[in-house]
Amino acid sequence: MRSGETTAGVYEHPAGHHDLRIAIARHIGNSRGIRASADDVIVTNGTQQALDVLARVLLAPGDGIAVEDPSYGPPRRLFKALGIRVIGVPVDRQGLVVDALPRGIRAVYVTPSHQYPLSVTMTLSRRQALLAWAERNNAAIIEDDYDSEFRFGGRPLEPLQTLDAKGRVVYVGSFSKTNAADASAGLPGDAAIAAGGPEQGEVRQRLAFVDPSAGGARAFHR
């Protein structure tokens, strides 16, 4: 049989279709300045699934994660369902109050481009402070680049991921605001600890994409 015929009925690569991952890597490079190859891209079935994978990779039951307070509800409920302690941290006009982050947490989940529901954009100085905090505390940052495509004026600030020189940031983006509702999609990022688990090693940055097919992606459309 010809090689093309032998692929029928064969599962796709677990990370997703290779050409799709190439296109995604090119898109986020052009639009957000993120340097990634197809090998850095993983296809998931929605932002919530990507966060589920992230939480399972980075955290164990009983570990703590800081989230903005107030914040979007579903991620908080997801983390709690996995047995993770969720600690709310206040938000001011500059974004997440880094000085209020508690010690001993393993990760921080933030929406620096457009905080929900307060619509605050995290300032550059606050982003730098958060990166420095994560390095001092050996913690991961899950960056949800929510609504970064829309600006009333000026260029968007760089994602935390592009400012990160220590491999602490996990990038999560979305296409759901620029696609029609029937094709809502996202590109969340997953991360893995390089040295065997959340107790040791640096975060190895990876990226992911939410499959635009099926109702699963649409169900997590905000």
SS (H, E, C) 37-62: CHHHEEEECCHHHHHHHHHHHHCCCC
Closest-CA residue to 142 (of 38, 67, 45): 67
Tell me how many degrees the CA angle 94-138-119 measures, rounded to the nearest 5. Answer: 20
Stretch 7-24: mean pLDDT, rounded? Answer: 78
pLDDT, tens digit, 9 for 90 and up, residues 32-60: 788 888 888 777 776 787 889 889 999 99
- Higher-pLDDT residue of 175, 2: 175
pLDDT, tens digit, 9 for 90 and up, residues 174-194: 665 555 555 444 444 333 222
Is the whole-model pTM more than 0.85?
A: no
Q: State which H helix or E strand residue 6 sits in.
A: helix 3-6
Helices assigned H by DSSP within 137-213 = 160-163
Lowest mean pLDDT segment, chosen from 88-92, 137-141, 197-201: 197-201
pLDDT, tens digit, 9 for 90 and up, residues 200-211: 333 333 344 433
**Residue 218 — very low, low, confident or very high, per pLDDT cuts 50/70/90?**
very low
Predicted confidence (pLDDT) at residue 219 exceeds the cutoff of 50: no
pLDDT of residue 102: 95
Residue 139 exposed, middle or buried by CB count within 10 Å (0-12, 13-18, 19+): buried
Stretch 67-95: mean pLDDT, rounded? Answer: 96
Report how far residue 127's alpha carbon sits from residue 158's, in angstroms, rounded to the nearest whole number. 10
Are the C-beta atoms of 40 and 207 separated by less than 8 Å?
yes
Predicted confidence (pLDDT) at residue 103 exceeds the cutoff of 60: yes
